[in-house]
Amino acid sequence: MPEGHTLYRLAREQSELFAGRPVHVTSPQGRFAAGAALLDGRVLEEVTSYGKHLFADFGGDVLHVHLGLYGTYSAGVGDPPPPRGALRMRWVADGPKGEGVWTDLRGATACDVLTQPEVDAILDRLGPDPLRTRRGGPLSYAKVGRSRTAVGALLMDQSVLAGVGNVYRAEILFRHRISPFRPGRDVGAEEWQSLWDDLVVLLRAGVRMGRIVTTHPADRSRRSGAVRREDAHYVYRRTGLPCRICGTEVRTEEMVGRNLYWCPVCQAV
């Protein structure tokens, strides 16, 4: 599932291409036909993200998209290709330089038109987003610090904090040597604040680079040049490989429906 940095980049890119211009909105698949008819031809004001949610403001009516596990956007310049497959929604407009631009949405968990009060109701259910505030540590800890739930599960709970997914969960816990099985109430306030501050840095780096890189240069196979894919993470998808710090085999098991990765020595309970 795309994590917060990806949605932030999508919002920025869509605003740059479409904001301030009338957008031709269609639903070739038909599932979003009513919503497309409501938005078609209207001027897009802006696209913003919060956590894993996208909000496109068409002057009072807001298009809400949640990509879920399988949703994807594609985009291009010029004439769009013929619609194929389960194409939920297509935007076409004259781009900022007068050229045609388009974007297609497939496979999203949510794609619906909301009023502003309905948007506010979604936002009220979400915890702080590290890409939206640097000061969300105490707010998120108010839930973490009194919970018996494992911190590895709490990090995936979007009502605790918004935008963190499976990669950031595994990597942030390793970077702070926290067992994913430790109850939230056993994580200290200062420990959580340090983790929060690190998430702010990592997510902003993800926005800048367009990928998730969590390793320090000293822990990679080469310390300079572009970060190779196999060097980008400490534990995520490294099951059975030696921990970069202690050499112990990285383990995995399922937690809240997703594969969890950790080092049993560096992150001992």
For the question of residue 143 being annotated catalytic, the response is no
Q: Is 52 a catalytic residue?
A: yes
CA distances from 12 to 8, 48, 87, 207, 208 (A): 6, 7, 22, 10, 12
97 among known catalytic residues: no
Count the Cβ atoms, other than its own, within 10 Å of residue 109.
13
User: What is the arrangement of strands in the sheet containing 24-26, beginning at the earlier edge strand?
Assistant: 24-26, 87-94, 100-106, 72-77
Please, which residues bridge with residue 91 across strands? 25, 103
Say which of 9, 31, 182, 258 is annotated catalytic.
Answer: 258
Q: Biggest alpha carbon distance in the chain?
A: 58
How many other β-carbons are positioned within 10 Å of the β-carbon of residue 206? Answer: 23
Q: How far is CA 184 from CA 130, 144, 148, 200, in A?
A: 19, 5, 6, 20
Which of 36, 176, 9, 190 lies closest to 104, judged by CA? 36
Please give the torsion angle defined by the CA atoms of residues 33, 35, 39 and 44, in that order, rounded to the nearest 10 degrees.
-120
Residue of 52, 90, 106, 238 marked active site: 52
| Residues forming the active site | 2-3, 52, 258
